[in-house]
Amino acid sequence: MTETRYDGLLLDHDGVIVTLCSHQVLRAAATDAFVDAGISNPSPDDVDAITIRVWEDDLCAVADRYGVDPDRLWQCREQRIEQTLRRETRAGRKVPYEDVTSLERVEVPTGIVSNNQTRIVEFVLREHGLYGYVETVRAREPTRESLREKKPESTYLEAAAADLDCSNPLYVGDSESDIVAGQRAGFDTVFLRRDHNATRHLEIEPTVEAESLSAVLELL
């Protein structure tokens, strides 16, 4: 029996396990969130600021411009995004990548680490029958405080590794923040290239690049 190099596998969710939702759809959800918070005509830049890759300072600055509580605005945003992603999943527009079935062959403990909301990740996994592939999910709670812990911070990666009782997991992501988070945690990293990031230039170097989850499995 050969010895396994890594004692765990950690995977990002959106863009690695399941397809991304269109930016246009997410932006519409963010616009609706402003309306829910009592803001009828937000600027396009402010809508963009709370659509994806949101930072707490930006959220607070936007809320301050409209005189609303940042926690209230964020709660509205999180609810609208959750509703949207549930709808997109049920409609078959947010689906697993074809190579996800290769995870059936993984022999080490496996977990999901995501900047998305935990309730969304868990819903998507259940809806597509993927929960059996993973032993833990570490993602955000729908609170403003959670923005301080999201990747590129290593908090969720370290928590997932602890859940799986592994000290040397391999982490697979599709963004530069994934690679930074993995390196901060001291883990080897795989930058997985999909259609949405096929030509993306990285300012930081992952341990390796791969074009499919099948290729990732060859590293374990």
Q: What is the pLDDT of residue 4?
A: 59
- Residue 115 pLDDT class (50, 70, 90 cuts): very high
Mean pLDDT of 134-151: 97
Q: What is the pLDDT of residue 5?
A: 87
Q: What is the pLDDT of residue 3?
A: 52
Percent of the chain with pLDDT over 70: 98
Cβ pair 79, 33 in contact under 8 A: yes
Mean pLDDT of 144-166: 97
pTM of the model: 0.95
- Residue 1 pLDDT class (50, 70, 90 cuts): very low
Mapped onto helix, strand or coil, the DSSP state of residue 190 is strand
- Residue 92 pLDDT class (50, 70, 90 cuts): very high
Tokens of 184: 């901060």
- Cβ neighbours around 127 below 10 Å, total: 16
Mean pLDDT of 163-192: 98
Cα 123 to Cα 15, 19, 128, 135: the distances in Å are: 16, 14, 9, 15
pLDDT digits (tens, 9 = 90+) for 184-218: 999 999 999 999 999 999 999 999 999 999 999 99
| CATH class name, domain 8-20+94-217 | alpha beta
| Distant-in-sequence contacts of 89-92, Cβ < 8 A, 24+ apart | 89/123, 89/124, 89/127, 89/128, 90/127
Q: What is the pLDDT of residue 133?
A: 96
Mapped onto helix, strand or coil, the DSSP state of residue 114 is strand
- pLDDT for residue 2 is more than 50: no
- pLDDT for residue 154 is more than 50: yes
